[in-house]
């Protein structure tokens, strides 16, 4: 006997989420069955509102609700330093450090042989468009093979434009992600950055 179509439609939607397999998707669908109507409506509204209102900042690629993110709009931040990270999650991680007052640029990924991603697939053109007045670019991609490859490639491109580039220090464990690092480790890594 098959599930009713409305049920399988919801299961299929859940299955498209990362880390959710068939069994988990079914479990979630059963859970929705037990939820009260107001909550299901609120959930649907929040999802729809999220989709309509969350964008990537036109300048740096971080997430925001308007054209520009809070960091790009903040004129008190040091406009001469840009910290390049892989994802918006890393911006939130770096902000926890509190010692960094410059700007960010989010690449939305890394160069990856396995996934066939090249430098052209990253949010990189908008970085080159905002280098006026920038004295230093700190590359804070994750200490993974892909993160290191991306850092080297980016440093070469920036060197051609005469921009001083530094890489966060190796205080972070190899293969780890910046958004999992604690504040002290990140602070040390930032302070110990080296020119590349
Ligand atoms: Zn921004």
CATH number of residue 180's parent domain: 3.40.1360.10
Query: What is the domain-level CATH number for residue 19?
Result: 1.10.8.420
Q: Do 114 and 171 reside in the same domain of the chain?
A: yes
Task: Indicate if 10 and 74 belong to the same structural domain.
Answer: no
Do 172 and 185 touch, CB atoms closer than 8 A? yes
Report CA(39)–ligand 1 centroid distance (Å).
33
- Radius of gyration, alpha carbons of the chain: 20
DSSP code of 3?
P
End-to-end, the C-alpha distance of the chain in Å comes to 63
Let me know whether 115 and 49 are in one domain: no
Cα–Cα dist 168/148, whole Å: 11
- Please tell me the distance from the alpha carbon of residue 89 to that of residue 127, in angstroms, as a whole number: 18
Query: For the chain, what is the domain count?
Result: 2
Confidence at residue 63, expressed as pLDDT on a 0 to 100 scale: 97
Query: What gap in Å lies between CA 143 and CA 174, rounded to an integer?
Result: 5
Whether 181 is in a domain gets the answer: yes
Strand order, beta sheet including 136-139: 103-106, 81-85, 136-139, 164-167, 194-195
> What pLDDT, in 10s, does the model give residues 133-154?
999 999 999 988 899 999 999 9
Q: Same domain, yes or no, for 49 and 72?
A: no
Domain that holds residue 145: 68-195
Distance 72 CA to ligand 1 centre (A): 4
Neighbouring residues of the ion ligand 1, judged by CB less than 5 Å: 57, 59-60, 62, 69, 72
> Which of 153, 154, 185, 155 lies closest to 170, judged by CA?
185
| CA 174–ligand 1 middle distance (angstroms) | 28
What's the gap in Å between 5 CA and the centre of ligand 1?
42
Is residue 173's pLDDT more than 80? no
In a domain, 110, yes or no: yes
Q: Which pLDDT tens digit goes with each residue over 56-101?
A: 999 999 999 999 999 999 999 999 999 999 999 999 999 988 889 9
Q: Is residue 61 part of a domain?
A: no
Answer yes or no: is 94 within a domain: yes
Residues 103 and 161 in one domain: yes
Are 155 and 179 found together in one domain?
A: yes
Please indicate, yes or no, whether residues 22 and 118 belong to a single structural domain of this protein: no
- For residue 30, what are the contacts with CB-CB under 8 A and spacing of at least 6? none
- Separation of 24 CA from ligand 1 center, angstroms? 36
Pull the structure tokens for residue 67: 């054209």
Residue 141: phi, psi to the nearest 5? Answer: -70, 160
Cα(61) to centroid(ligand 1), Å: 6
pLDDT computed for residue 176 by the predictor: 72
Task: Taking residues 161-171, report their average pLDDT.
Answer: 84
């Amino acid at each position: 006997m098959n599930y009713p179509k409305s049920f399988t439609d919801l299961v299929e939607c859940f299955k498209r989420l990362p880390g959710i397999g068939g069994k988990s998707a079914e479990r979630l669908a059963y859970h929705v069955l037990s939820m009260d109507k107001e909550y299901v409506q609120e959930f649907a509204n929040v999802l729809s509102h999220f989709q309509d209102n969350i964008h990537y900042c036109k300048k740096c690629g971080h997430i925001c609700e308007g054209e520009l993110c809070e960091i790009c709009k903040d004129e008190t931040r040091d406009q001469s330093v840009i910290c390049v990270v892989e994802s918006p999650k890393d911006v939130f991680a770096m902000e926890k450090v509190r010692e960094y007052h410059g700007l960010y640029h989010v690449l939305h990924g890394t160069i990856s042989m396995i996934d066939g991603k090249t430098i052209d697939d990253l949010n990189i053109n908008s970085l080159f468009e905002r280098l006026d007045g920038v004295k230093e670019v700190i590359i804070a991609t994750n200490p993974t093979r892909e993160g290191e490859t991306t850092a080297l490639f980016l440093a070469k491109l920036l060197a051609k434009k005469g921009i001083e580039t530094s890489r966060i220090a190796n205080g972070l464990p190899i293969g780890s992600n910046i958004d999992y690092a604690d504040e002290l480790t990140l602070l040390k890594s930032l302070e110990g950055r080296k020119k590349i």
